[in-house]
């Protein structure tokens, strides 16, 4: 599929554009067909290219250089933050050397490229990851030491890039790491939010407070502002239909999209891909006319509204709110990205009919679905292609990943809102509908089945009428995938059922999610990574590039010396976490206890409420025991972390309950050595990196059929933590790999859930009867044992009333599963063996495997090494 530029097209391309463009490359050749150096003296140019600094003396020089020139500071007044910035800029120089080579390589070879469109990229910190991927961590550590700084302290200075809510955004970040590491020509496209996911604070009464996340407060050394890569993006106005299905969209408002590039280094390769993030800006700065008329406020207003588009990430996970600004974000981002993709495609000189041979676009959830009508608009209105030809190109370009079957998460946009903001796109959607309905009629597959047609329509009837984004994404894409086997099956059986019957099942498949072992093993748990490397007697790159290699650990499972070292790594990670908690929160944690962790977005379907109810149950059980009985109990520390959407009242109440339960039980002299509880505020990637390696057991306890995949379950297992979980999402596939004896499963299965909900609706049974232990816990909370019980009534009522997430159905088996965990932990050697076996079988869950699935099964993409 990859090919070099066809020389016969070069003249054609040149006539349209400048030879030296930022993103395009058009080679000029001499008579012999040899490529000419584009400008100036080739030798002088080549000597001027900065070398990659791999030796300590060069590194210290480059850091000092940045201290003096980029920061205008000196040794006399350099703090950790300044030293971090200079170190980051020196590292960036190295990334850029590879990045430049990679982009030139791609432009020369003009391979098929894939683009990952995601409204969220939860990147976390960059410095540590960049140094590890470059293989320069040791050298930079030595270099900064010579300059009087400790590299680990500098790494801590960096703020997380929190441009995402949770799993979906972190998945996008892992996929970028794997694309570069697998030498695949993949770019990410997203938005450069000025404020990422809010900072979570806990108020004195235990509630969540939100503060803005000013992550760009200090210069961001990891991005390159491309003031020369801009596009005009139109909103509002009117669309006038012309002949041949075309239309002219005019008027309204135009804003400017400006590119920022973030370098994405591959691990142990030169290949360095790009993540392009768009920032919105007013088209002409101030509206001069208003300004001259003395209407200063109005002039500033226009600039405010343009800038508002990329000012803030919407903090909802798995829910939609239908705000106009959100729709603006989606169009702004997809339109800028497609314009950029089209420009890059045209630089190859190919005909637009070949677009799908050179471009694959993955839609990360329905958020970028407007890319489908936008590409239609470009092809029909601008390229003047016939409608059918344009539609064929579109349907061969896009691939759609569904991330949830929860009804509240399925995006719909009111037709009126769309008509006003994007009049031309609404026309196109209606045109797709009529062609679609026509197809239906022709197929005569399901004669007279009007309900089916109504379900499959892009427009949901009602007041207001809505555009169904998942239906649009499905019919405009070549493939639709879920993110774990069970989830993909549910997609086929529920939200896409009619489409499966229409298209056949082959359009609907599965790519199980993965995580990058670079960040989620080597970076967050260097002790374990070193131990694995020593035990397998291979360099780390061997298993970090091929995670199946961890299976080699299985032959060491029974080696007591290895078991001891394995346990020692876990213990030191627990101590590292305890130190972190002591230095950030001033709390002392018992590191001799079992560490039980649930960290993820707060959501009713994830059932943090069941976990805290379980903690209370354990507390009450301990209180009921005699001191003699208590001596037999294994001490346990329970950790929670996670953010609730600011408008999600019930989820916020759960946080409040956790915090207030912690206050009571951590102070109880009878039990505090046996059970303590921590809610760690402001969950983010960096916090995950210290929590996960310290976990003995972690909880993934969603109501069966609700968690599409989960990825933190994979992170814990890779770090030797065991799972307690429901038969849901990727838990199932993890158990298939590691063996069911190494996973603590409990709870009702997916097929039972619908019936149970029906029972709850129409034949409710009082909790006291259904689940006495849970009834007792609920009563204790209601009666004020953990502070004003009245506060929690709305939360308790979700369980007492229809109990949609089925806590009363699963609580008994949940408690039993936790008892089995306690028993298993008593036999420490057996536990360590389970831990080793679990890590050893995590090969499948590398995001390298996942991204290669996408590349081979969907995108038809080839690896291309920069060399």
Ligand X SMILES: *Cc1c(COP(=O)(O)O)cnc(C)c1O
Binding residues for ligand X (CB under 6 A): 122, 166-167, 170, 600, 684-685, 688, 710-712, 715
Give 378 or 688: the residue with its C-beta nearer to ligand X. Answer: 688
Strand pairing category for 412-414 and 466-468: antiparallel
φ, ψ of residue 274 in degrees (nearest 5): -130, 140
DSSP state at residue 150: -
Q: Residue 362 Cβ, how far from ligand X at the closest point, in Å?
A: 19
Q: What is the spatial distance between Cα 64 and Cα 62, in angstroms, rounded to a whole number?
A: 5
Of 270, 600, 837, 849, the catalytic one is 600
Q: Residue 642 Cβ, how far from ligand X at the closest point, in Å?
A: 8
Q: Residue 606 Cβ, how far from ligand X at the closest point, in Å?
A: 7
φ, ψ of residue 263 in degrees (nearest 5): -75, 135
φ, ψ of residue 109 in degrees (nearest 5): -80, -25
Q: Which two tokens stand for residue 789?
A: 């019980």
Of 105, 328, 350, 403, the catalytic one is 403
Q: What is the spatial distance between Cα 467 and Cα 460, in angstroms, rounded to a whole number?
A: 6
Give 127 or 299: the residue with its C-beta nearer to ligand X. Answer: 127
Instruction: Give Cα separations from 466 to 407, 421, 436 (angstroms).
Output: 14, 14, 17
Q: Residue 170 Cβ, how far from ligand X at the closest point, in Å?
A: 4
Q: Residue 707 Cβ, how far from ligand X at the closest point, in Å?
A: 7
Q: What is the spatial distance between Cα 264 and Cα 262, in angstroms, rounded to a whole number?
A: 6
Instruction: Give Cα separations from 771 to 323, 325, 553, 802 (angstroms).
Output: 41, 45, 43, 14
Give 342 or 738: the residue with its C-beta nearer to ligand X. Answer: 738
Instruction: Give Cα separations from 427 to 51, 70, 420, 540 (angstroms).
Output: 53, 51, 11, 55
Q: Which two tokens stand for residue 515?
A: 């995580």
606 is catalytic: yes
Give 685 or 743: the residue with its C-beta nearer to ligand X. Answer: 685
Q: What is the spatial distance between Cα 708 and Cα 847, in angstroms, rounded to a whole number?
A: 16
Q: Which two tokens stand for residue 680?
A: 């760690």
User: What's the Rg (C-alpha) of the chain?
Assistant: 28
540 is catalytic: no
- Beta partners for 250? 238
Q: Residue 683 Cβ, how far from ligand X at the closest point, in Å?
A: 6
Instruction: Give the number of other Cβ atoms within 10 Å of residue 822's Cβ.
Output: 14
Q: Residue 699 Cβ, how far from ligand X at the closest point, in Å?
A: 9
Q: What is the spatial distance between Cα 612 and Cα 620, in angstroms, rounded to a whole number?
A: 12
Q: What is the spatial distance between Cα 759 and Cα 764, in angstroms, rounded to a whole number?
A: 6
Place of tokens 């496209």: 189
Q: Distance between the two ends of the chain, CA-based, in angstroms?
A: 19
Q: Residue 608 Cβ, how far from ligand X at the closest point, in Å?
A: 11
DSSP string, 640-652: EE----TT-HHHH
The helix or strand, by DSSP H or E, that contains position 347, with its residue range, turns out to be helix 324-347
Of 126, 334, 348, 711, the catalytic one is 711
Give 640 or 859: the residue with its C-beta nearer to ligand X. Answer: 640
46 is catalytic: no
Q: What is the spatial distance between Cα 454 and Cα 423, in angstroms, rounded to a whole number?
A: 23
CB 303 within 8 A of CB 256: no
Give 397 or 695: the residue with its C-beta nearer to ligand X. Answer: 695
| SS3 at position 120 | coil
Give 167 or 681: the residue with its C-beta nearer to ligand X. Answer: 167
Instruction: Give the number of other Cβ atoms within 10 Å of residue 466's Cβ.
Output: 20
- CA angle 179/184/185 to nearest 5° reads 105
Q: Residue 581 Cβ, how far from ligand X at the closest point, in Å?
A: 17
194 is catalytic: no
Give 124 or 614: the residue with its C-beta nearer to ligand X. Answer: 124
HEC readout, 44-85: HHHHHCCCCCCCHHHHHHHHHHHHHHCCCCCHHHCCHHHHHH
Give 317 or 340: the residue with its C-beta nearer to ligand X. Answer: 317
Q: Tally the residues of the chain.
A: 867
Tell me the longest C-alpha to C-alpha distance in the chain.
Answer: 95
Question: What count of Cα atoms within 13 Å lies in the side-chain half-sphere of residue 22?
Answer: 11
Of 507, 601, 643, 760, the catalytic one is 601
Q: Is 826 exposed, middle or buried (0-12, 13-18, 19+ CB in 10 A)?
A: exposed
DSSP state at residue 405: -
Give 414 or 710: the residue with its C-beta nearer to ligand X. Answer: 710
| SS3 at position 853 | helix
Give 340 or 707: the residue with its C-beta nearer to ligand X. Answer: 707
Q: Residue 181 Cβ, how far from ligand X at the closest point, in Å?
A: 18
- Beta partners for 364? 401
Of 606, 617, 652, 760, the catalytic one is 606
CB 703 within 8 A of CB 605: yes
Q: Residue 717 Cβ, how far from ligand X at the closest point, in Å?
A: 12
Strand pairing category for 508-510 and 477-482: parallel
Of 192, 715, 834, 841, the catalytic one is 715
Give 122 or 247: the residue with its C-beta nearer to ligand X. Answer: 122
Give 189 or 683: the residue with its C-beta nearer to ligand X. Answer: 683
Spatial CB neighbours of 448, under 8 Å, sequence gap ≥ 6? none
Q: Residue 706 Cβ, how far from ligand X at the closest point, in Å?
A: 11
Q: Residue 720 Cβ, how far from ligand X at the closest point, in Å?
A: 17
Active site residues: 403, 600-601, 606, 711, 715
């Amino acid at each position: 599929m990859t090919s070099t530029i066809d020389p016969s097209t070069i003249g054609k391309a040149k006539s349209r554009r400048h030879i030296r463009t930022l993103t395009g490359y058009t080679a000029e050749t001499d008579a012999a067909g040899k490529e000419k150096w584009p400008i100036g003296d080739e030798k002088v140019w080549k000597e001027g290219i900065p070398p990659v600094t791999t030796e300590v003396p060069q590194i210290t020089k480059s850091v000092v250089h940045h201290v003096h020139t980029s920061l205008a500071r000196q040794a006399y007044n350099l703090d950790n933050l300044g030293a971090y910035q200079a170190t980051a800029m020196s590292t960036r120089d190295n990334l850029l050397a590879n990045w430049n080579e990679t982009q030139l390589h791609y432009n020369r070879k003009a391979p098929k490229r894939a683009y990952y469109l995601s409204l969220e990229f939860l990147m976390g910190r960059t410095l540590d990851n960049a140094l590890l991927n470059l293989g320069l961590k040791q050298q930079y550590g030595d270099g900064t030491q010579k300059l009087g700084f400790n590299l680990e302290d500098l790494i801590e200075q960096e703020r997380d890039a929190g441009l995402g809510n949770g799993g979906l955004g972190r998945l996008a970040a892992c996929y970028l790491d794997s694309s570069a590491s697998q030498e695949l020509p993949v770019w990410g496209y997203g938005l450069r939010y000025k404020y990422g996911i809010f900072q979570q604070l806990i108020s004195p009464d235990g509630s969540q407070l939100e503060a803005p996340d000013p992550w760009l407060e200090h210069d961001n050394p990891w991005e390159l502002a491309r003031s020369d890569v801009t596009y005009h993006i139109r909103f509002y106005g009117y669309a006038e239909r012309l002949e041949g299905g075309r239309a002219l969209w005019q008027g309204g408002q135009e804003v400017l999209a400006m590119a920022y590039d973030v370098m994405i280094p591959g691990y142990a390769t030169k290949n360095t891909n790009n993540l392009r993030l768009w920032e919105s800006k007013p088209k002409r700065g101030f509206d001069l006319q208003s300004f001259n008329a003395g209407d200063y406020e109005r002039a500033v207003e226009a600039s405010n509204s343009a800038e508002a588009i990329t000012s803030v990430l919407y903090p909802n996970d798995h829910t939609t709110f239908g705000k106009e600004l959100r729709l603006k974000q989606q169009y702004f981002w997809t339109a800028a990205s497609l314009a950029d993709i089209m420009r890059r495609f045209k630089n190859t000189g190919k005909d637009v009919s070949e677009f799908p041979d050179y471009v694959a676009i993955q839609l990360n959830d329905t958020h970028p679905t407007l890319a489908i009508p936008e590409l239609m608009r470009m092809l029909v209105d601008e390229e003047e292609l016939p409608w059918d030809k344009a539609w064929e190109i579109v349907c061969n370009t896009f691939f759609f990943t569904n991330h949830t079957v929860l009804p509240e998460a399925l995006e719909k946009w009111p037709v009126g809102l769309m008509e006003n903001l994007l009049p031309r796109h609404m026309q196109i959607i209606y045109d797709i509908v009529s062609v679609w309905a026509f197809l239906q009629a022709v197929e005569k597959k399901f004669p007279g089945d009007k309900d089916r047609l109504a379900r499959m329509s892009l427009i949901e009837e009602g007041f207001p009428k809505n555009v169904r984004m998942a239906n649009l994404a499905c019919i405009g894409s070549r493939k639709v995938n879920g993110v774990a086997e069970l989830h993909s099956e549910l997609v086929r059986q529920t939200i896409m059922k009619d489409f499966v019957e229409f298209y056949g099942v082959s359009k609907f498949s599965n790519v199980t999610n993965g995580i990058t072992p670079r960040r989620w093993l080597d970076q967050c748990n260097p002790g374990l990574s070193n131990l694995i490397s020593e035990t397998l007697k291979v360099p780390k790159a061997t298993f970090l590039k091929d995670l199946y290699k961890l299976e080699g650990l299985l032959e060491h499972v029974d080696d007591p010396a290895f078991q001891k070292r394995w346990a020692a790594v876990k213990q030191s990670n627990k101590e590292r976490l305890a130190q972190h908690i002591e230095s950030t929160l001033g709390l002392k944690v018992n590191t001799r206890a079992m560490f039980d962790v649930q960290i993820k977005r707060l959501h009713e379907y994830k059932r943090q409420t069941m976990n805290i109810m379980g903690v209370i149950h354990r507390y009450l059980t301990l209180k009921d025991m005699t001191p003699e009985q208590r001596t037999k109990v294994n001490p346990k520390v329970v950790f929670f972390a996670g953010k609730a959407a600011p408008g999600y009242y019930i989820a916020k109440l759960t946080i409040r309950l956790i915090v207030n339960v912690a206050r009571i039980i951590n102070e109880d002299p009878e039990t505090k050595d046996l059970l303590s509880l921590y809610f760690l505020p402001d969950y983010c990637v960096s916090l995950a990196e210290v929590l996960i390696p310290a976990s003995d057991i972690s909880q993934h306890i969603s109501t069966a059929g609700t968690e599409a995949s989960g990825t933190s379950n994979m992170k814990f297992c890779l770090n030797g933590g065991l799972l307690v979980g429901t038969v849901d999402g990727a838990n199932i596939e993890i158990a298939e790999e590691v063996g069911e004896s190494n996973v603590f499963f409990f709870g009702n299965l997916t097929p039972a859930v619908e019936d149970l909900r029906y029972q709850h609706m129409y034949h409710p049974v009082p909790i006291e009867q259904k689940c006495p232990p849970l009834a007792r816990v609920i009563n204790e909370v209601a009666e004020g044992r953990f502070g004003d019980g009245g506060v929690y009534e709305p939360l308790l009522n979700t369980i007492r009333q229809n109990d949609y997430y089925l806590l009363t159905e699963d609580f008994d088996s949940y408690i039993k599963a936790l008892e089995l965990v306690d028993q298993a932990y008593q036999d420490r050697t057996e536990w360590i063996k389970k831990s080793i076996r679990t890590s050893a079988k995590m090969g499948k869950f590398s995001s390298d495997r996942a991204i290669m699935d996408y590349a081979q099964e969907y995108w038809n993409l080839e690896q291309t090494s920069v060399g």
